[in-house]
Amino acid sequence: MSATPTTSMTETPATPAASKPERDTAKPTFTQWAEYAALRTIATLLRPFGFRAASAVGAFVGGLGWRPFRLRAAQVERTIQACFPAFTPARVRDVARESYRGLGRVAMESIFLSRASREEVMEAFVAPHQYEVLERAFAQGKGVILVAGHLGNWELSAAYMTGRGLPIDAIAMHMANPLSDGFFKRTRERFGTRVIFDDQAVRAIPRALKEGRGIGFLSDQSAKGLASTFIPFFGRPARTPRGAAVFALRGDLPMVFVVALRQPDGRYQAHFEEVPLVKTGDKEHDIDATVLRYTQVLERLVREHPEQYFWQHRRWKGQPKDTPPHLRMP
């Protein structure tokens, strides 16, 4: 459940180490050093003011992307209108604006985590919803598949679970900037979240599950070359990662949908929901049907909290060629 690097999963066997392409080890550029310095500076400046100040700063900065800069704003408005045809233009604009503000909050709150204490993280949450679902899943002792989406603050949900003493791993893709990559990796590890990068995942995930750990997958952003399937999301075919379903079915593991939803007072509520696996004996069918189930959970929660979703992502990019015009990406 990564804030800045995208989460991913591959279903194919691991490539032998000798033939696996190595990650670029070139020295960071001046721009990358500047970006990293900005991260460190922001974290230092925010530290005396606390979590709420970080969130407020993030909302302001994120809001600039909506007005005056209009970064992808027209695309975001079209997407929201397509998903919620009953919304008035004013409602669409309100949801879009809050989505930008929310994205800014996620960024600043994630940076603040680099200096935050466990107590500050826990104070950022109200009482959880259905925490017993998570407890029952871990009580089985065979590992837990945790599924999330770009809703609320996906980074805080991992910090919350580790703050309560649960062993959590997060699957992440490397960032283009290796310095920022290291910054966010160290930030997660401060609270006990282990980061498994996608190029390590095929081998690392089975080991982690044998240790009884929870493995976090972001389920609503796929990438070229990763195992995925087309699943309806708001009625339109969207390329959706299969990894969470593959591992859950392979090991008959409990699956829990996880999200940290922002509350009216600025704090978050950790929401946990069981996702039953589909087990008919037809492997491919069961994988796709299970992916559909956790996608449906995400869609329902997005419908309940549309202003907290990451509408800036082009969710329906790369659809099947035979997709009807009215179901293509807005």
Question: 232-269: per-residue pLDDT in tens?
Answer: 999 999 999 999 999 999 999 999 999 999 999 999 99
Give the integer Cα–Cα distance in Å for 143 and 94. 40
The arithmetic mean of pLDDT across residues 134-149, rounded, is: 97
Amino acid, single-letter form, for residue 228: S
Residue 270 has pLDDT above 90, yes or no: yes
The one-letter code for the residue type at 164 is R
DSSP structure class, residue 35: H
Closest C-alpha to 244, from 132, 149, 156? 149
The tens digit of pLDDT for each residue in 69-111 reads: 999 999 999 999 999 999 999 999 999 999 999 999 999 999 9
pLDDT tens digits for range 284-329: 999 999 999 999 999 999 999 999 999 999 999 989 999 999 999 9
Pick from 253, 327, 239: nearest CA to 291: 239
Neighbours of 291 (CB within 10 A): 24
Q: What CA–CA distance (Å, rounded) separates 32 from 24? A: 14
Please state the pTM of the whole predicted model.
0.90
Q: CA-to-CA distance for 130 and 135, rounded, in angstroms?
A: 9
Which of helix, strand or coil describes residue 228? strand
How far apart are alpha carbons 96 and 57 in whole angstroms?
18
Domain segments of the chain as ranges: 36-327
In this prediction, what percent of the chain has a pLDDT beyond 70? 91
Question: What's the token pair of residue 74?
Answer: 């027209």
Contacts of 51 by beta carbon, 8 Å cutoff, 6+ apart:
109, 112, 116, 120, 123, 124
Contact 221, 228 (CB under 8 A): no
Lowest mean pLDDT among 24-33, 54-63, 208-217, 296-305: 24-33
Collapsing DSSP to helix, strand or coil, 154 comes out as helix
Mean pLDDT of the chain: 91
**Residue of higher predicted confidence among 11 and 206:** 206
In the prediction, which pLDDT does 325 show? 94
Angle at 4 between CA 262 and CA 207, to 5 degrees: 100
Long-range contacts of 43-48 (CB under 8 A, 24+ apart): 43/111, 43/112, 43/114, 43/115, 44/115, 46/108, 46/111, 46/112, 46/115, 47/112, 47/115
The string over 44-75, giving b where at least 16 C-beta atoms fall within 10 Å of a residue's C-beta and e elsewhere, is eebeeeebeebbbbbbebbbebbeeeeebbee
